[in-house]
């Protein structure tokens, strides 16, 4: 497949641009040559790190646009300045859970009437395939579907980018809960460890986002991020680490029954996380369906040299 080049660059507004993925999307859009705008919300107040991050974007050539979810007209004014809107609002229970706020953004896009593409905050499991998800983690998928339904009811052109586990949360820790770094001596293996999972570096997810947003091939489509070399079983991920370190970890194989045994005793955020892990590592929800070449990001954009998990894990050695 040939390298993509879609002519003139687009004007893109990133909402949630100071977040973990959002900041990477801003950088990727700038690197792609898009005229990049970042929503600056007055609610950040005296959050020094966010203010400094916004100013660093400005130094790189981004435009800061003021707007608040509590001020509809400010959102309308913001989206009127661009062709494409990308939302990177957080949707995980242990941080800020802001998925429904995007409904206000959709209302602004409807009124503005000029937006050629909207990419809502998705990036993980495909919510259209998660109708069976366990509560309370199911809330994430229900809210994402509510956002999708509002987008489609309004006739807003869109792209949904989904399909992989962020390496920062699932890769560097060898998929262990409660930590972001690899275990030193022992590791829990979910089930028999042979269910296929998909991992992606957030920087690569951001690059794919920047590629899709003005690509006519991705209009009104779901694009799955499935880098071929990063489709790994849990055991394969652990074995990559063992090869890098030269040390074999003690493995405890955790049955589905044991994994969920005391879920009701946990805090809500932990319950949601357990449910998501169960769907990924026991059910295989990321890889239990086929995806065509024209729907898969690494096939659409072979010029993106994505990070393999052996490369990703080297920094932890």
Residue 289: exposed, middle, or buried by beta-carbon count in 10 A (0-12, 13-18, 19+)? exposed
Q: Which residues, in sequence order, are bridge partners of residue 71? A: 68
Active-site residue set: 144
Distance in angstroms (rounded) separating the CA atoms of residues 130 and 286:
10
β-pairing, 117-119 with 84-87?
A: parallel
Strand order in the sheet with 231-233: 165-166, 196-200, 231-233
Residue 153's alpha-carbon distances to 50, 95, 249, in angstroms, are: 34, 29, 51
β-pairing, 196-200 with 231-233?
A: antiparallel
Look at the block and give the residue holding tokens 């999708």.
Answer: 148
Residue 261's alpha-carbon distances to 10, 155, 175, 192, 279, in angstroms, are: 50, 44, 19, 17, 15
Peptide bond into 136 cis (omega under 30): yes
Work out the number of other CB atoms within 10 angstroms of the CB of residue 63: 15
Distance in angstroms (rounded) separating the CA atoms of residues 131 and 257:
21
Find all residues with CB under 8 Å of 248, minimum gap 6, and list them.
242
- Rounded to 5°, the CA angle 98-17-204 comes to 100
Q: Is the C-alpha dihedral spanning 196, 199, 205, 211 positive or negative?
A: negative
Distance of alpha carbon 178 from the chain centroid? 19
């Amino acid at each position: 497949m040939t390298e993509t080049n879609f002519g003139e660059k687009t004007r893109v507004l990133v909402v949630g641009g100071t977040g973990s993925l959002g900041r990477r999307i801003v950088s990727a859009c700038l690197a792609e040559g898009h005229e990049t705008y970042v929503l600056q919300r007055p609610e950040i107040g005296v959050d020094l790190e966010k203010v400094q991050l916004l100013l660093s974007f400005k130094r790189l050539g981004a435009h800061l646009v003021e707007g608040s979810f509590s001020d509809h007209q400010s959102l309308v004014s913001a989206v009127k300045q661009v062709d494409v809107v990308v939302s990177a609002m957080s949707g995980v229970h242990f941080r800020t859970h802001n998925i429904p706020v995007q409904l206000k953004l959709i209302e602004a896009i409807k009124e503005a009437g000029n937006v050629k593409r909207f990419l809502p905050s998705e990036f993980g499991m495909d919510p259209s395939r998660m109708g069976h998800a366990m509560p309370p983690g199911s809330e994430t998928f229900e809210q994402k579907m509510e956002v999708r339904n509002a987008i489609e009811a309004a006739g807003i052109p869109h792209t949904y980018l989904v399909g992989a586990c962020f390496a920062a949360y699932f890769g560097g820790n060898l998929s262990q809960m409660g930590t972001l770094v690899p275990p030193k001596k022992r590791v829990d293996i979910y089930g028999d460890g042979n269910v296929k999972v998909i991992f992606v570096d957030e920087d690569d997810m951001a690059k794919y986002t920047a590629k899709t947003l003005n690509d006519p091939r991705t209009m009104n489509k779901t694009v799955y991020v499935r880098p071929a070399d990063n489709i790994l079983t849990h055991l394969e991920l652990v074995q990559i680490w063992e090869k890098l370190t030269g040390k074999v970890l003690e493995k405890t194989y955790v049955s589905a029954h044991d994994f969920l045994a005391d879920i009701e005793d946990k805090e809500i955020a932990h319950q949601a996380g357990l449910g998501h892990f169960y769907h990924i590592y026991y059910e295989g929800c990321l890889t239990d369906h086929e995806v065509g070449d024209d729907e898969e990001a690494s096939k659409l954009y072979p010029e993106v040299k994505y990070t393999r998990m052996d490369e990703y894990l080297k920094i932890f050695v």
